[in-house]
Structure 1
């Protein structure tokens, strides 16, 4: 019997080549799009789930308040927090703490390697997390000063050992930056999985910074640059411990007496750290979890549209299959046999669509990886996804359920034909079936319109952010890392300034400056600013930036009152520096009525008095997602400070060669690295750009798949009205009149789709734009233009079939049936 069903299915596919091709292509496009999106979604959802006891691991987050106002919402806090929680609360089984090591220059013999991913971690890090060692003891690798653990890929770069011989690296010594003490390699870690929010190639032992930086890194309750993770005992809930954290804060911080801020602590599940971070000073790789769920919704929508098309296109053929059903029933076929026949055809079509979808997925894979910037694949989805093999099994079950459900309605609909009525040629479609088909088309196009509106909104917002005046000029700004391996001494400032002067001898280099941070960076904060002799002694918090006397001019920032820094404001001895600049937001925060009123005033912080010598016009230090922050500028130099150069781009390779040559002459032994400031700044928008590109691509696919369904429905309608068309043509109806007659119902459906899509799209993009402190306005064209685009595309699809029927010979139409 099964063989008979498959044989009939094959014959029907062969007989109706056009419908079969459209059906299979529609299913293939929908399934392929769904598989591609699921790769991205499962990759993002899989972060940090590989750790043993991941469900019991939490990281500690910290909100700080001054005068009732939230001044910092971050993941960094004081070095004492984790160890104290373990000591004071029996619910906590273990903890580990770490801090960002930043960029490191590794020296081994003649090798000089720049490493951007380094962490400073305590001795519990390697047993707390599941980062296995290929060589070394995880319990003792980070217990003593000046010891390091490196990954296998870094070990290969430094020592040249293959993976099988990694144990030979144990005990070897390397040097980091300007530290004259050798660091002993005590462990080789397996390369960190790509779905870990903590990424590192170099781990430095925590006792090293206690020795080199001071005991405050172990016991301070006021200096915060540290990340803490804790593991709860089995059976302990997050809520039960989190409820005790206000008491913990009150006991150890006594309001704001200890740190100068009211401290509130929270627990974030480790598996949420990658997806759900609106925190400052993130140490790990993060993404917007809302985008991930939106993309999952898009995948479901596209797959549903593909199956809806299958239902529409299959029931569209009801007139052609009606006589077949009638004859089979007269010959004794039971209803359940006919249902099984149509379900068999559904399985065959869906399987063929799935096979084609796998082929399309492989072809589209490089494009998806380019858009997302990630190495995604079907194997990653099936084997290493959200739940490992369970993900692949779940996808298979969903596919099977979709095949059955999408096949049931056409099967029951077609099997319900009355054989006598059909064989007499009195078959007509039911009102209920026609209503369902129209409802499905409306839902398809409502989803398509909403997706296109979202895509255009994202693109417009990104263009707005990229083109908005930032208050500084980052165009044609080449940035290089400073001489990190050069000792800072009394001559360092003079050497840097001489180097900058030498650079400007080349006409292509117009200006240059050094700074501790760059536009786009999250600046460090200081919490104890106040006006001297302030009667309330109120302290406020500001971000800070160390710059030289050329920075303001190089970045073309505006000084609205007072002056910029002079060479005389700098001093190799930090304790002798007394002058600062403020931005306008800082002036307002300190309570000055005007910018000029702040100039020459005394500000106190770090237990010292500082004179304000100038006010800088507000500018966007970070992306337009963030409000302008209060910033204080200090006139200081540092060995690792970046050097920014305003360059002409006519002969860029020669300019870069000149810079490198001069840099190596002035600072031998250092490594030359450079990038362009606009590229660096715009990386803040890369998640939005990727989201916009991917959403745009799948919006187009949604329109294509929906148009296939609309083509089928228009074909069905004109087929139903063939004789009517012939009569109207005989009575003098023109092609235009017939086109209007046949198209008006579809136009009404599309208008209904717009009525549904526009309010939903408005609420969606309005909510999305609230993520940005500065954003575009939702104008009528933003909603109307996509609607008109979809309407024109749909009319083109409908007109293709209706024009063909309207131009048919009326005699042929009258002889129909």
Structure 2
């Protein structure tokens, strides 16, 4: 029986090659797009699920309030917080402190390996997280001072390991950065999985930070906030109930704002939410956008849904053509159940064949998709443990099986319901319900495509808006590179001045400066700021940056009042610094009536007095997603931070080579790692750019698949009206008249879809734009352009077949009459 179903189904599909091809092509493209997107979605949702304790690990988030306002929402906090939580609450099983060391240089004998992501962590971190060792004991590897663990990849580079035996690396002595003391390698860890928020090559023992570096505040302190904390709760602990206890914890240790100058509020963020749901400042780990991930998932479901809708539409539209077949089968004894199984078999064959083609298409387009999402993915990621275990993998299987069943069941139900007597008498006609359903499905298809078209326009408009706005700083032709990591600290300032002086002698270098941070970086904050005329009990918060002379000039910042820093403003010791420059926003925060009124006044930073010598215009330190914050600049020369060079040349390659030669001369043994600031600054928009590209590309897929369905429906409608077209042509109808006749009903459906899509698109996109402090508007013309685009595409699709039918010889269609 099954063999007969398959044979009959195959014959029917082969007989109707055009409709079968349209169905298979639409389904294949929809499934291929769905498979590609689900790879990315499952990968992003799988972050940190490999950790055995993942369900019980949390990150501490610290919100700070001053004068009733939230002034910092971040995960950076005080070194004592994690241990205090463990001491105060029996629910806490373990805690680990983390300090981000950035990218370090590691040296072994004569070999130096630069740019290694490095963290300083408690030994407990290796027990909380699942980072297995290839050699050594990871559970106790960071218990002692001056110890470190490294990744397999770094071990191969540093110790020339060829095979899989890393035991010879354990016990080796290396040097880190500018350290004069050796560090012992106690374990080699397997490379962190790609779906880990921690991407590291080196982990240094936290005890080294306290005892060797002399950073006493790193041990147990409620004043210096440079640390990240991870907490492991005991199994079956409700973290939301634990969060409710944090108000008492804050009051106990901070007594309102008496200890830190801010009201501190803490809560725990589940580890499994960190990668996609982090909107915090001072991130030290790898994060992504949940908007992009869930947006792509919705697009994938839309695309595959449109493809299945096409199948249902074409199958039910051809009901009249197959009515005689059903009538004959029923008269010869076929039951309704047998007919349903027959038509479901046809659906299964088409869907399975389409799935096979989709897999081939996905494999062929994988490199292009990987370039789009900037990940190395494959179909294997569809079956990776992620959200809720294997929810995506199971969901994909259920989705395909459900789609096959639904797309086949409704047509099978309709076709098997024909009454044989009426059919054989030629009295069958399409039901009004069936026609209404097909119209509704077409409207739904095009409503989705219009939303996607509109979304593409708005996302690209917002990206263009952000990239074209004046930042208040000139980042064009600015070369940025890190200062030396391997150098004696006592000669740093001397060499820095000499290096900058020689740099400015290059004819193609306009200006050069050093700074703690450059535009695009997250700058530091000070929390205890006030002025002479402000309430002495009030505390204000400002961003800050340490800069050299020429920084303001190098970045083309506008000095609106006062003067720039001069060499006499600088001092070797921080406590000897006395001058500061504010931005306009900072003068407003401190209550000055104008920038000019602030000049000569005193600003207090804790107990230190700073004379306000200048005011610069506001500028965007970060992307336009964030508002400009009050900021002060202090005169500090720090060669180990960032060096900015403003070039004035049409041949940057030659200038870069000259700068590198000087860098190697002054700082031998250091890596000259450079980049252009405009490119680095625009990297802040990479998630938004991905969102825009995904909308555009997969929106195009949705439009194409919807048009395939429309092409099939118009083809079938034309076949049904062949004799009518012949009669009209004989009576004098023009090609234009016939095209309009065949197109009118379909275009009405598209117009209705546009009217439905516009408010939906506006609501979604308006909410998305609210995430940006500075954003473009949603202009009326975008909806008009999206609607016109949808109508033109639909009209072109329908006209393709309509023109062909209108141009046919009417004699052939009327011959039988």
TM-score between the two structures when normalised by the length of structure 2 = 0.97
> Are positions 1:503 and 2:478 aligned together?
no
Q: Residue 320 of structure 2 corresponds to which residue in structure 1?
A: 319
Q: CA deviation at 1:129?
A: 0.8
Alignment of 1:45-444 (within 5 A): 45-211=45-211, 212-386=213-387, 391-444=392-445
Q: How many Å separate the matches in 2 of 1:15 and 1:406?
A: 20
Task: Report the number of matched residues.
Answer: 816
Q: Residue 755 of structure 2 corresponds to which residue in structure 1?
A: 755
Q: How many Å separate the matches in 1 of 2:391 and 2:44?
A: 16
Cα offsets for 1:271-298 (capped at 9, x unmatched): 0001111111111111121221121111
Q: How many Å separate the matches in 2 of 1:297 and 1:395?
A: 13
Residues 163 and 567 (structure 1 numbering): CA distance in 2 closer, same or farther, change over 3 Å?
farther
> Are positions 1:522 and 2:529 aligned together?
no
Q: CA deviation at 1:316?
A: 2.6
Q: CA deviation at 1:259?
A: 0.7
Q: Residue 31 of structure 1 corresponds to which residue in structure 2?
A: 31
Q: How many Å separate the matches in 2 of 1:572 and 1:480?
A: 23
Query: Which segment is superposed worse, 478-487 or 444-453?
Result: 478-487
Q: CA deviation at 1:808?
A: 2.8
Please tell me whether the aligned partners of residues 584 and 616 of structure 2 are also in contact (alpha carbons under 8 angstroms).
yes
Query: Which segment is superposed worse, 355-364 or 571-580?
Result: 571-580
Q: CA deviation at 1:6?
A: 1.0
Please tell me whether the aligned partners of residues 115 and 201 of structure 1 are also in contact (alpha carbons under 8 angstroms).
no
Q: How many Å separate the matches in 2 of 1:594 and 1:116?
A: 47
Please tell me whether the aligned partners of residues 34 and 299 of structure 1 are also in contact (alpha carbons under 8 angstroms).
yes
> Are positions 1:768 and 2:768 aligned together?
yes
Q: CA deviation at 1:646?
A: 1.4
Q: CA deviation at 1:452?
A: 1.1
Q: How many Å separate the matches in 1 of 2:388 and 2:223?
A: 41
Alignment of 1:284-683 (within 5 A): 284-386=285-387, 391-489=392-490, 492-532=492-532, 534-683=534-683
Q: CA deviation at 1:804?
A: 2.1
Cα offsets for 1:504-525 (capped at 9, x unmatched): 3332222111111010111111
1:223 alignment partner, SS class: coil
Q: How many Å separate the matches in 1 of 2:486 and 2:570?
A: 22
Please tell me whether the aligned partners of residues 52 and 129 of structure 2 are also in contact (alpha carbons under 8 angstroms).
yes
Q: How many Å separate the matches in 2 of 1:630 and 1:383?
A: 45
Please tell me whether the aligned partners of residues 238 and 267 of structure 1 are also in contact (alpha carbons under 8 angstroms).
yes
Q: CA deviation at 1:370?
A: 0.3
Please tell me whether the aligned partners of residues 723 and 816 of structure 1 are also in contact (alpha carbons under 8 angstroms).
no
Residues 163 and 221 (structure 1 numbering): CA distance in 2 closer, same or farther, change over 3 Å?
farther
Q: CA deviation at 1:270?
A: 0.7
Q: CA deviation at 1:398?
A: 2.0
Q: How many Å separate the matches in 1 of 2:506 and 2:663?
A: 14
Please tell me whether the aligned partners of residues 43 and 384 of structure 2 are also in contact (alpha carbons under 8 angstroms).
no
1:703 alignment partner, SS class: helix
Query: Which segment is superposed worse, 391-400 or 25-34?
Result: 391-400
Residues 537 and 253 (structure 1 numbering): CA distance in 2 closer, same or farther, change over 3 Å?
closer
Q: CA deviation at 1:326?
A: 2.1
Query: Which segment is superposed worse, 330-339 or 623-632?
Result: 330-339
Please tell me whether the aligned partners of residues 523 and 545 of structure 1 are also in contact (alpha carbons under 8 angstroms).
yes
Query: Which segment is superposed worse, 208-217 or 782-791?
Result: 208-217
Q: How many Å separate the matches in 1 of 2:637 and 2:117?
A: 24
Residues 779 and 389 (structure 1 numbering): CA distance in 2 closer, same or farther, change over 3 Å?
closer
Q: How many Å separate the matches in 1 of 2:194 and 2:387?
A: 13
Q: CA deviation at 1:24?
A: 0.5
Q: CA deviation at 1:389?
A: 5.7
Q: CA deviation at 1:549?
A: 0.5
Q: How many Å separate the matches in 2 of 1:709 and 1:164?
A: 55
Q: CA deviation at 1:542?
A: 0.7
Q: How many Å separate the matches in 1 of 2:108 and 2:374?
A: 32
1:117 alignment partner, SS class: strand
